[in-house]
Chains A and B, each alone.
Chain A
Amino acid sequence: MSIQARNLTAGQPVLALDAMPLEFNADPTTRNDVDDTSFVPWSPEVSVTFEAPTSGRVLVFIGGGGNTDSNVHRLSMAPEVRLRDENGVVVQPPSVSRNSWSNSSNITQNNEFGTQVSLVEGLVPGSPYFARAMIAVSGTDGTSGDSDVDSIQIFIVPTA
């Protein structure tokens, strides 16, 4: 059965998919010396699956912490959203400038923590989607200690 995208207006019946549940996943571990300069999935996988709401719009949140051991590099975490599962078509790729949270590239002794929010639109209502946390660093200094990652969170909130 196909479900039409819509904006809720007065008098319409409310459908279960008008407000899908919050989906949340996280990994509390810390990993040192991340040196992937292209986005790779965080391991262990931090992912969620969800059915798109009738609006076709969700807020995607990525959060966590990290630090930089050298003074010129930056750690980035970003969501990747695909249809169905990890092999599905990518509908929102991870992007440093469009949907990532990053630390300051100024050298840090302690992990820095924060959140990034992005709005993903045009999802097909009722279709299954898959989102996972991806990680990258802007560069490595080739010596011990590059960027460290701590406690990645990803969560999806349906929105009107």
Chain B
Amino acid sequence: MTFPFFAGSPIKMGDIPPSVHAFDDTNQANLSNTSFAAGSPEVGVSFIAPPSGYVLGIVGGGIRDNGGTNRGALALEIHENDSSGTIVQAAEVRRNAWTNNSHNTSSSVSGFGSRVAPAPIDDNALLTPLVPGATYFARTMQAVSGGSTVDILHRDITIVQLPLGAATGGRLASNLDNVRTLGGGTQVSTFNVSDSHSDWQAPDTNAQLRFIAPSSGRALIIVAGGLRDNTNNNRIGMAPEVREDDENGRQIFDLNDAPTFRKFMWSNFGNTDSKYMYGCRVGWLEDLEPGRQYFAQTMLAATTTTSASADAFNQRLIVVGVS
């Protein structure tokens, strides 16, 4: 099968392989390696290259600076076949890494976020595509810029097949294969959290949407927006809550059940910011019931000290069905 799909061409078994995800919450303590290493345990996934030959590589996690002005990085690496195969996408800070702020000298909390990059790429263009149907192995790689150490408290990796969609080969297309991507947001609302919001709460104004689960049962849930710490060590986090059916339905995960929130949270770094910092976290949903409606909304929580506060601005939420 070549890409793009031409009108009238049949979709065959293996044309659209599943997207895959892995995560690990083992603390990677006191990292000092300045060259990229996989860490232990390795956080990796095997996948089959799609007909386009391109995937989205998403790495995310939480990094805590233990002092100094060093930066930690979580990056994407892809090998042919398995971890001993030829590297077809190297870990590279500029190309495919998510990093923390390098000035958390007094911070006791970690900052969470994601980096999304297509693969394979070089510094300024797409490279020769992966071989459709061939097996590849992707994993997170971690490094420190130098100086003191960092801790990495959560690492995740997601490989999303392009083109986006939930169809899989070998069966008739269904009307749930390409469910509509939905986005929602509040454009102007500023929400100030204080020590009464150390638990996850739905602010009075937030981003909400309802979506239909695709036939794959898998979707990306992206939270984005601006976050600002008004006093040091006061991290504010934004994460999605997802319920079956509607706002009164059963939660499919509980953010207050640590460390679940680490899989979904976008946060600042727990150091004083004069301006909102903007970015996103890409979370992974699986085992959704195809065709069922789900409700999602943004939630906020802060790690606070007495009389401290932090702000969130312009919360956004996007849900994308994937294969």
Nearest CB in chain A to that of B93: its residue: A113
- Chain A contact patch, size range: 35 or more
How distant is the Cα of A109 from the Cα of B148 in the complex, in angstroms? 13
Are the CB atoms of A157 and B102 closer together than 8 Å? no
How distant is the Cα of A91 from the Cα of B93 in the complex, in angstroms? 32
Are the CB atoms of B8 and A13 closer together than 8 Å? yes
How distant is the Cα of A131 from the Cα of B16 in the complex, in angstroms? 28
**A110 and B70 in contact, given A19-B163, A98-B187, A117-B116 (Cβ under 8 angstroms):** yes
Are the CB atoms of A116 and B224 closer together than 8 Å? yes
Among B5, B7, B97, the residue within 8 A (CB) of A113 is B97
Contact residues, A1-49 vs B (CB, 8 A): 7-11, 13-16, 18-22, 24-28
Nearest CB in chain A to that of B123: its residue: A28
How distant is the Cα of A114 from the Cα of B183 in the complex, in angstroms? 20
CB within 8 Å: A-B pair count: 219
- Whether, in the assembled complex, A85 has its beta carbon less than 8 Å from a beta carbon of chain B, the answer is no
Contact residues, A92-121 vs B (CB, 8 A): 96-98, 100-119, 121
Q: 18 A–B contact pairs at CB < 8 A?
A: A22-B52, A24-B125, A26-B121, A28-B123, A57-B180, A59-B181, A61-B116, A63-B116, A102-B279, A104-B268, A104-B273, A105-B274, A118-B224, A119-B318, A153-B117, A159-B164, A160-B178, A160-B180
**Partner-A contacts on B (CB < 8 A):** 3-9, 11, 52, 54, 56, 69-71, 73, 93-95, 97-103, 113-118, 121, 123-126, 145, 162-165, 172-175, 177-183, 185, 187-188, 222, 224-226, 268-269, 271-280, 282, 313-314, 316, 318, 320-321
**Partner-B contacts on A (CB < 8 A):** 7-11, 13-16, 18-22, 24-28, 55, 57, 59, 61, 63-65, 67, 71-74, 76, 96-98, 100-119, 121, 138, 150-151, 153, 155, 157-160
